């Protein structure tokens, strides 16, 4: 069977069972034998629920430990907030939902453990306020809850449903149960049910990421196959390179299964990225094989091609793997897992391609117009014709202007790099028109903000402050907290306490004593409201303000402002001398810490990858300055992209943070191939302009084609409704195209100018 697309080669030249062909057959047999195990691993990895943002950081992560302590003392943040038109105080539909979720027939797992650990609604909390011992009038009670559990109209309310660990383990079905129950009990359509909260965020991420994988993975793979066919001009070799790369994608899932890593939203683009990188390497390898065939015929073509291309292919795959592996320094699981498993798969793809493709090529070489062009070039037909050489001539002629423009662009955009910021807010994960953002918007418009800012007052066991003074201090802190975050209502124990009488004189003092006794009875009564906690070391009093989930706010600045505003109040009350301390706690400090970790990861991984790749380039180019010059064309896309994002203050998410290191590793690919042919031409006696022409002739087409394959294959995921996946895709595609411009425009312009003097002719020893 001949898989070539051109004329049939001469029979006397056809080698049959060469050592390379035997190696190819044996390798393919081993890959086929391992395919069932790889398929099993992929199925098990993909069938596991994706991890939640809190799970992205390890248990040893200090902010996560602090959050777990808060959850232990008060309540889990794993809740669903739900409301709908007609969800009002005392509405029958709301009461039926509470009964269904908490009664004897409430949903449970197979072991009989409940999914939910309780429901708080505006109606249930209102009842607590108007009943003894507080006995507020209804109007005052509703006013206290407005903006938190009751809307501005004084009627619309919501339900806050807490999830148990068992409910979280099956959160998709639990959320579906809530939606179906509301549809049946309130007699409304699904579109009218508005749900928000951390559990909804996680389910929405799960659904969006899985939908992206299901919707775009197959079209992306098909596009990569077609582009590989277009590049290689051989459907047989396109399929061969594609299948070998696809096998290595499966290998990435196998390593995930072996290491026990879980699927996460960021990893959904890893299979397509590994596939694109694999076929990109295959295109370069076939290019070297065609070069070898054109130069010396079929016999020994595989050996000659491997001698010619093993180093640049190894270095390009190795630097790509370095860029990916640099992500393992991250403390966030999705980034670490992405870098670790993708780097293994990239190197495995290189090894597999070298074991398979050369032997098959030696048995069934490609003979088409591509080979003819290589033969003409090898025969000395000149380097001056065609678009490629015309473009090379343009870069050489205008090299000073090109270098000046590129360097000016880098300097201008680099000034914006300090303005880079990161975010994991819900509005950065989904587009504005998505269902989850629309639901957040509806609930916040009809009831109030949803993102909690928690302040916790801790009174030591020996603190001399009586309950009345503690309550007064809490009220002052709550008032200042509300002012700092622009919240109309702050939830705290003060909401469930009687108002302290003001004024002086015997009558006022008597009233305050009565209220103080009533307060002590209320402390016991409101313990289940989870705003006061007694523990061995003392007593905790909690105040919760809420801000909009869709508000563009710097969480770090906001938390610092809250701390600065509250500190004087605590100091005035006596502070640590009277056993009083205060802390900002809850989910927001953890979110802020994750955002800081994202920013740290961006610079740490990029700089570590840059340093390692720079060392490689210095060794390969045998000179410090030569290595530095070679790096310029590769770092400029990152400076342009991230400098622009810094200037525009566009927040980076967990997907876009990874692109810098990955793109740097991929950008080196083209640089190495171009410099390989440039160096060989220089060493053979050509002057830099002629050497640039020769490099263009030999590898510009393969560089362009491999970049197009990678960029377009990844770009399909830019259509994803999950914003980090979408941003990762278009940013990486743009960076790859910019890197191609760096390799085929900036690098040649530097090589023929003063900077090119670093690449001196190397004489054979």
pLDDT one-digit tens code per residue, 490-511: 888 777 776 655 555 555 555 5
Instruction: Please check whether residue 437 lies inside any domain of the structure.
Output: no
Q: What is the pLDDT of residue 74?
A: 80
Give CA–CA dist 260/721, Å, rounded. Answer: 28
Name beta bridge partners: 539.
459, 534
Give CA–CA dist 320/707, Å, rounded. Answer: 13
Give CA–CA dist 313/336, Å, rounded. Answer: 25
Structural domains of the chain, count: 3
Q: What is the pLDDT of residue 503?
A: 53
> Do residues 192 and 209 share a domain?
no
- Check if the beta carbon of residue 664 is closer than 8 Å to that of residue 636: no
| Nearest in space to 545 (alpha carbons), one of 453, 628, 614, 473 | 453
CA angle 22–26–30, rounded 5-degree value: 170
Give CA–CA dist 683/468, Å, rounded. Answer: 88
pLDDT, one tens digit per residue, over 515-535 is 555 555 555 555 556 788 888
Retrieve residue 252's tokens: 């990435």
> How far is CA 260 from its chain centroid?
20
- Check if the beta carbon of residue 548 is closer than 8 Å to that of residue 441: no
> Do residues 113 and 150 share a domain?
yes
| Nearest in space to 137 (alpha carbons), one of 148, 126, 147, 146 | 126
Using the structure block, give the residue that is written with the tokens 């402390």.
523
Q: What φ, ψ does residue 330 adopt, rounded to 5°? A: -70, 145
Lowest-pLDDT range, 62-71, 78-87, 430-439?
A: 62-71
Q: What is the pLDDT of residue 570?
A: 93
> Do residues 571 and 632 share a domain?
no
Q: What is the pLDDT of residue 224?
A: 93
Neighbours of 10 (CB within 10 A): 9
Instruction: Please check whether residue 33 lies inside any domain of the structure.
Output: yes
Instruction: Please check whether residue 55 lies inside any domain of the structure.
Output: no
Q: pLDDT at residue 649 above 90? A: no
Confidence of residue 243 (pLDDT cuts 50, 70, 90): very high
Q: What is the 3-state secondary structure (H, E, C) of 296-340?
A: HCCCCHHHHHHHHHHHHHHHHHHHHHHHHHHHHHCCCHHHHHHHH
Please identify, among 196, 224, 243, the residue that sits at the C-terminal boundary of a domain.
Answer: 196
Please identify, among 585, 603, 635, the residue that sits at the C-terminal boundary of a domain.
Answer: 585
Q: pLDDT at residue 7 above 50? A: no
HSE at residue 41, side-chain half, CA atoms within 13 A, is 20
Side by side, which strands form the sheet with 194-196?
Answer: 116-121, 159-163, 79-83, 194-196
- Check if the beta carbon of residue 318 is closer than 8 Å to that of residue 213: no
> Do residues 214 and 321 share a domain?
yes
Lowest-pLDDT range, 339-353, 568-582, 595-609, 686-700?
A: 595-609
Q: What is the pLDDT of residue 384?
A: 40
Instruction: Please check whether residue 368 lies inside any domain of the structure.
Output: yes
CA dihedral of residues 151, 52, 183, 439 (deg, nearest 10): 40
- Check if the beta carbon of residue 742 is closer than 8 Å to that of residue 750: no
- Check if the beta carbon of residue 140 is closer than 8 Å to that of residue 130: no
pTM: 0.80
Neighbours of 553 (CB within 10 A): 14
- Check if the beta carbon of residue 455 is closer than 8 Å to that of residue 562: yes
Q: pLDDT at residue 3 above 50? A: no
- Check if the beta carbon of residue 464 is closer than 8 Å to that of residue 537: no
Give CA–CA dist 375/570, Å, rounded. Answer: 83
- CA dist list (Å): 498 to 36, 391, 475, 530, 621: 69, 82, 12, 18, 78
- Check if the beta carbon of residue 578 is closer than 8 Å to that of residue 464: yes
Please measure the distance between the N-terminal and C-terminal CA atoms of the chain and give it in whole angstroms: 45
- Check if the beta carbon of residue 586 is closer than 8 Å to that of residue 487: no
Strands 194-196 and 116-121: unpaired
Mean pLDDT of 185-212: 87
> Do residues 634 and 706 share a domain?
yes
**CB under 8 Å to 252, separation ≥6 — which residues?**
270, 271, 274, 341, 342, 344, 345
Instruction: Please check whether residue 57 lies inside any domain of the structure.
Output: no
Retrieve residue 316's tokens: 């390009």
Helix (H) or strand (E) holding 471: helix 467-485
Confidence of residue 381 (pLDDT cuts 50, 70, 90): very low
Instruction: Please check whether residue 350 lies inside any domain of the structure.
Output: yes
| Nearest in space to 717 (alpha carbons), one of 209, 61, 176 | 209
Retrieve residue 284's tokens: 């370069």
- Check if the beta carbon of residue 244 is closer than 8 Å to that of residue 278: yes
Confidence of residue 419 (pLDDT cuts 50, 70, 90): confident
Mean pLDDT of 18-40: 91
What's the mean per-residue pLDDT of the chain? Answer: 84
- Check if the beta carbon of residue 440 is closer than 8 Å to that of residue 186: no
> Do residues 716 and 608 share a domain?
yes
> Do residues 183 and 224 share a domain?
no
> Do residues 272 and 375 share a domain?
yes
Mean pLDDT of 614-621: 84
CATH number at residue 474: 3.30.70
Please identify, among 167, 196, 225, the residue that sits at the C-terminal boundary of a domain.
Answer: 196
- CA dist list (Å): 694 to 75, 380, 385, 671, 746: 69, 11, 12, 15, 16
Q: Compute the Cα dihedral for 470, 476, 481, 486 and give only its sign.
A: positive
| Widest CA span in the chain | 120
Q: What is the pLDDT of residue 383?
A: 39
Q: Compute the Cα dihedral for 237, 242, 243, 244 and give only its sign.
A: positive
Instruction: Please check whether residue 339 lies inside any domain of the structure.
Output: yes
Domain span at 366: 11-47+203-415+593-758
Q: What is the pLDDT of residue 268?
A: 83
Instruction: Please check whether residue 691 lies inside any domain of the structure.
Output: yes
Percent of the chain exceeding pLDDT 90 equals 27
Q: What is the pLDDT of residue 737?
A: 92
> Do residues 743 and 606 share a domain?
yes
> Do residues 284 and 158 share a domain?
no
> Do residues 658 and 525 share a domain?
no
Where are the strands (E) in 314-468, listed by range?
451-460
Give CA–CA dist 253/681, Å, rounded. Answer: 42
Mean pLDDT of 398-423: 90
- CA dist list (Å): 757 to 223, 401, 760, 765: 42, 18, 6, 21
> Do residues 374 and 460 share a domain?
no
- Check if the beta carbon of residue 160 is closer than 8 Å to that of residue 81: yes
| Nearest in space to 529 (alpha carbons), one of 131, 107, 22, 93 | 131
Using the structure block, give the residue that is written with the tokens 């609930």.
443
Give CA–CA dist 711/597, Å, rounded. Answer: 28
Q: What is the pLDDT of residue 2?
A: 41
């Amino acid at each position: 069977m001949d898989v070539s697309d051109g004329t049939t080669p001469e029979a006397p030249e056809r080698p049959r069972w060469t050592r390379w062909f035997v190696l190819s057959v044996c390798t393919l047999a081993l890959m086929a034998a391992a395919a069932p195990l790889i398929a099993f691993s992929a199925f098990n990895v993909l069938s596991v629920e994706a991890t939640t943002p809190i799970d992205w950081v390890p248990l040893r992560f200090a902010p996560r430990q602090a959050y777990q302590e808060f959850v232990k003392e008060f309540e889990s943040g794993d809740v669903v907030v739900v409301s709908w038109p007609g969800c009002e105080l005392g509405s029958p539909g709301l009461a039926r939902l509470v009964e269904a979720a908490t009664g004897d027939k409430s949903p449970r797992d197979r072991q009989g453990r409940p999914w939910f650990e309780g429901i708080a609604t505006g109606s249930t909390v209102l009842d607590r306020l108007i009943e003894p011992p507080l006995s507020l009038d209804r109007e005052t009670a509703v006013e206290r809850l407005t903006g938190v559990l009751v809307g501005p109209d004084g009627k619309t309310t919501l339900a806050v449903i807490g999830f148990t660990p068992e409910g979280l383990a099956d959160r998709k079905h639990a959320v579906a149960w809530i939606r179906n129950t509301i549809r049946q009990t309130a007699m409304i359509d699904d579109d009218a049910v508005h749900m928000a909260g951390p559990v909804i965020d996680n389910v929405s991420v799960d659904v969006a990421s899985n939908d992206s994988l299901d919707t775009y993975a197959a079209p992306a793979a098909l596009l990569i196959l077609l582009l590989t066919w277009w590049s290689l001009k051989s459907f047989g070799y396109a399929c061969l390179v594609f299948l070998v790369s696809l096998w290595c994608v499966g290998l990435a899932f196998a390593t995930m299964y072996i290491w026990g890593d879980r699927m996460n939203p960021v990893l959904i683009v890893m299979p397509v990225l590994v596939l694109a990188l694999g076929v990109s390497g295959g295109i370069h390898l076939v290019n070297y094989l065609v070069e070898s065939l054109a130069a010396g015929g079929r016999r020994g073509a595989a050996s000659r091609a491997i001698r010619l291309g093993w180093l640049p292919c190894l270095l390009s795959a190795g630097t790509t793997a370095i860029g990916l592996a640099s992500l393992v320094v991250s403390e966030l699981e999705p980034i670490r897992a992405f870098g670790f498993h993708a780097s293994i798969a990239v190197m495995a793809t290189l090894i597999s391609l070298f074991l398979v493709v050369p032997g098959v090529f030696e048995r069934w070489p490609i003979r088409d117009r591509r080979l003819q062009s290589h033969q003409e070039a090898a025969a000395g037909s000149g380097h001056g014709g065609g678009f490629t050489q015309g473009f090379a001539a343009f870069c050489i002629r205008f090299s000073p202007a090109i270098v000046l423009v590129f360097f000016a662009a880098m300097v201008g955009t680099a000034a914006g790099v300090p303005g880079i910021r990161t975010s994991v807010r819900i509005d950065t994960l989904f587009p504005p028109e998505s269902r989850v953002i629309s639901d957040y918007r509806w609930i916040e418009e009809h009831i109030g903000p949803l993102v909690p800012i928690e302040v916790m007052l801790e009174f030591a066991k020996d603190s001399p402050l009586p309950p009345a003074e503690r309550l007064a201090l809490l009220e002052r802190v709550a008032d200042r907290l509300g002012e700092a975050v622009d919240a109309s209502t702050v939830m705290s124990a003060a909401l469930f306490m009687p108002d302290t009488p003001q004024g002086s004189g015997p009558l006022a003092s008597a009233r305050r004593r009565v209220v103080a006794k009533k307060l002590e009875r209320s402390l016991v009564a409101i313990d289940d409201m989870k705003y006061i906690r007694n523990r061995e070391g003392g007593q905790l009093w909690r105040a919760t303000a809420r801000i909009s989930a869709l508000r563009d706010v710097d969480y770090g600045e906001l938390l610092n402002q809250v701390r600065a505003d509250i500190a004087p109040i605590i100091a005035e009350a006596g502070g640590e001398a009277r056993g009083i301390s205060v802390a900002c706690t809850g989910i927001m400090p953890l979110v802020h810490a994750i955002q800081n970790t994202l920013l740290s990861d961006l610079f740490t991984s990029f700089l570590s990858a840059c340093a390692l790749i720079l060392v490689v380039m210095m060794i390969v180019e045998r000179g410090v300055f030569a290595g530095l010059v070679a790096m310029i064309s590769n770092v400029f896309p990152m400076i342009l992209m991230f400098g622009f994002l810094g200037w525009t203050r566009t927040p980076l998410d967990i997907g876009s943070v990874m692109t810098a290191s990955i793109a740097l590793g991929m950008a080196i690919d083209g640089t190495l191939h171009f410099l390989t042919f440039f160096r060989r031409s220089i060493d053979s006696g050509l002057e830099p302009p002629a050497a640039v022409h020769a490099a263009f002739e030999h590898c510009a087409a393969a560089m362009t084609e491999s970049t197009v394959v990678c960029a377009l294959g990844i770009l399909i995921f830019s259509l994803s409704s999950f914003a980090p996946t979408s941003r990762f895709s278009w940013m990486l595609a743009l960076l790859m195209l910019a890197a191609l411009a760096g390799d085929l425009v900036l690098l040649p312009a530097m090589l023929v100018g003063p900077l090119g003097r670093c690449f001196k002719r190397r004489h054979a020893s």
